[in-house]
Amino acid sequence: MCNKIKCLFILIVISTMFFSCVPTRQFQELKNKNETCVDERDSLKSNNESLTVKNTEQKSEIDELKKEIADLATKKSDMEDSLSFYSRKYKVYKKLYDDINTNQDKYSSSNDKETKLLLAEIQETKDDLQKREDKLKELELVLNAKQKELDAKNKSLMELDAELKQKQKELEEQNKKFIELQHILNRKDSAVAELKEKVTDALLGFENKGLSINVRNGKVYVSMEEKLLFKSGKYNVDTKGVNALKKLSTVLAQNKDINILVEGHTDDVPYHGTGNIKDNWDLSVMRATAIVKILLKNSKIEPKRITAAGRGKYVPIDPAKTSEARRKNRRTEIVLTPKLNELFQILENN
């Protein structure tokens, strides 16, 4: 008989460790995931805004370059027209000069002065034509350089546009995940708040009589002092405690998506018992299982939803070594946790 009780105790402790650690860890993972999601979204937003500004500046620079190139092209066209005019003028003078040289015997010496003037004008036209050709070549070099700069800017803009579109896509996906996660978190918070209200209504007559209800880390904690449930050092539940547990079991039976953890807590005063109860560990476990058995008298509660846990003296509310602190620490906590299947599925998928 003792061996069976010992095995039962070990199993209860193991299941306690599993049930209490895993949901807490998963809930923390969920909170961390949500915070990471928010940080990533904000980072993408900032990056997106920066790229948009850069994109706008790049487009403005390209517009200025295009205007500059258009002005240069106009200037080049004007210079080409001017060059064409001077080129024709030069050809006329050159032809005239060649005619004079060919027929110089026909001209008298009185025409020497006119010939010299013509030669001077031809040379001046030739020099002017050369200068214009040089300027045109310089302008073509500038125009080519500007065109290369424009091509580089256009390529950079295309790459920037592609990056911006990718970041916008990532931001949209991140926003979608964030909204989905936030929506489910809101539903969970609403479910917890609604559950707390239902439990509070059901146990209205027991508040301020050794019972308190609060929400911590997305869970509803129903804390019952020793005086409401047990006599000192015993694990048989008193009548008033049974009545409170029956009212609570009605709420739990109606809310099937709630996991139930019953934790027994003792003070730090050593317990030296006989029989099945040897110490505070044993007492805390037996008290937890006694409460579980009463809750399960409501046949609508599935046993797989409930875990019994003995925490002994190791999770005190008040660590002080006073009688008042020890009174607070001698308690049973019924921890109600909404099932987070949807949320854990999102965590696994992401």
Question: Which tens digits make up the pLDDT trace of 281-295?
Answer: 999 999 999 999 999
Is the pLDDT at 311 greater than 90, yes or no?
Answer: yes
pLDDT greater than 90 at residue 62: no
End-to-end Cα separation, the chain, in angstroms? 49
pLDDT at residue 57, rounded to an integer: 74
Last residue of a domain, one of 128, 153, 185: 185
Paired tokens of 143: 């125009």
pTM: 0.57
Nearest Cα residue to 133 out of 85, 70, 80: 80
The partner residues of 338 in beta bridges, in order of sequence, read 258
Residues 297 and 252 sit within 8 Å (Cβ to Cβ) = no
Count of Cβ atoms closer than 10 Å to residue 113 Cβ? 9
DSSP 218-267: TEEEEEEEHHHH--TT--SPPHHHHHHHHHHHHHHHH-TTEEEEEEEE--
Q: How many residues are listed for the chain in this entry?
A: 350
Residues 97 and 213 in one domain: no
Alpha carbons 266 and 285: distance in angstroms, whole number? 10
Tell me what pLDDT residue 20 has: 42
Assess whether 113 and 211 both reside in one domain.
Answer: no
Least confident range from 186-195, 215-224, 320-329: namely 186-195
CATH number at 250 reads 3.30.1330.60
Q: Which of 1-10, 41-50, 212-221 has the highest mean pLDDT?
A: 212-221
Can you name the residues that pair with 213 across neighbouring β-strands? 222
pLDDT grade for 63, boundaries at 50, 70 and 90: confident
180-196 burial, b at 16+ Cβ within 10 Å, e below that, comes to ebeebbeebeebbeebb
Residue 51 lies in a domain: yes
Query: Residue 165 belongs to what domain range?
Result: 44-185
Cβ-contact 292, 340 below 8 angstroms: no
Domain count for the chain, please give it. 2
- 37 within a domain of the structure (yes/no): no
**Which of 318, 306, 215 shows the shortest CA–CA distance to 265?**
318
Mean pLDDT of 187-210: 86
The reply to whether 215 and 246 lie within a common domain is yes
Please compute the mean of the pLDDT values over residues 60-71 and round it to a whole number: 71
How far is 188 from 339, CA to CA, in rounded Å? Answer: 9
Specify the DSSP class assigned to residue 317: S
With a cut of 70, say whether residue 25 has pLDDT above it: no
Cβ atoms of residues 251 and 199 within 8 Å: yes
Mean per-residue pLDDT, 204-212: 84
Question: What CATH number should be reported for the domain holding residue 171?
Answer: 1.10.287
What are the tens digits of pLDDT across the range 130-185? 888 888 788 788 888 888 888 888 888 788 888 878 888 888 888 888 888 888 78
| Cα distance between residue 291 and residue 242, in whole Å | 8
